[in-house]
Amino acid sequence: MENETIAVLGGTGDLGFGLVLRFALAGRRVIIGSRRHEKALRRAGDANKVLSRYTDNRVSGMVNSEAVGVADISFLTVPYPYHVETVKGLNRNFKDKSILVSTVVPMEKTDQGLKPVIPLEGSAAMEIRRVAPKNVKMASAFHNVGANDIQNLEKKELNCDVIICGEREAKRKVMKLVKLIPGLRPIDGGPLENSVIPEVLTPILVNHVVKLKTGSLGIRITNLNYSADELIKIYMEKGVI
């Protein structure tokens, strides 16, 4: 697990950059993916500047197509509705038997704030599943975590449950990555078809952030009195992951 390479596609943006910092801080090998090589390198430089205050660990930058070719796990952090065309464009490049994790939340503006968009396939993750190569396993995660908190390494302990949907093996690996970020707890969300559930929660969080100016918000499953480690152990014992 520790030797796995993580790519964050669109890791130049808000959520992706935060994931890059957190995984690198935890000692994982991380690549910032971008559509443009020079942007990937520039943002890798930005990330390394931040990281240098906390650790000797460093990240690299590549175009998305190169990044998915070497990554064991790729996180897709591009805005809806560019997720499908992005994955289609990378289809021939994914490393065999790698894992693709969607963080994509389909939302649109109304005069009362954001509302969910439910695609025909049921969720952004299922839209991606339709076009992603069959030899790539899929999961979805991080829909309900705020980018500001993830990016802020001064925030030592976050406060959020991360619902992870997808194929068993993919979920197991993603859960172990979620656990690396202090204060995040991985929650089994069932199969990828269930990804609509965490996806539709996000507009409520964002609408509160915007209207109440609260800073990043998250979700917690209450009365589930287990730590991240305990939950992963239980999920493994029960054959969930």
Shortest reach from residue 236's CB to ligand NAP, in Å:
27
Q: Which residues pair with 41 in a beta bridge?
A: none
Helices (H), the chain: 14-25, 37-51, 64-70, 83-90, 124-131, 147-151, 168-178, 196-212, 228-237
Question: Contact between 241 and ligand NAP (CB under 6 A)?
Answer: no
Q: From the centroid of its chain, how far is CA 56? A: 23
What is the number of residues in the chain? 241
Q: How far is CA 14 from CA 122, 131, 145, 199, in A?
A: 25, 25, 11, 17
Question: Contact between 147 and ligand NAP (CB under 6 A)?
Answer: yes
Which of 59, 69, 86, 164 touches ligand NAP by CB under 6 A? 86
Question: Contact between 77 and ligand NAP (CB under 6 A)?
Answer: yes
Question: Contact between 100 and ligand NAP (CB under 6 A)?
Answer: no
Question: Rounded to an integer, what distance in angstroms lies between the CA atom of residue 42 and that of residue 58?
Answer: 13
Which of 35, 58, 155, 176 touches ligand NAP by CB under 6 A? 35
Which of 75, 94, 142, 235 touches ligand NAP by CB under 6 A? 142
Give the residue nearest to ligand NAP (CB): 13
Question: Contact between 80 and ligand NAP (CB under 6 A)?
Answer: yes
Question: Contact between 78 and ligand NAP (CB under 6 A)?
Answer: yes
Tell which residue, 2, 65, 59, has the closest CA to residue 30: 59
Question: Contact between 79 and ligand NAP (CB under 6 A)?
Answer: yes
**Chain positions contacting ligand NAP, by CB under 6 A:** 10, 12-16, 34-35, 39, 77-80, 82, 86, 103-105, 142-143, 145-147
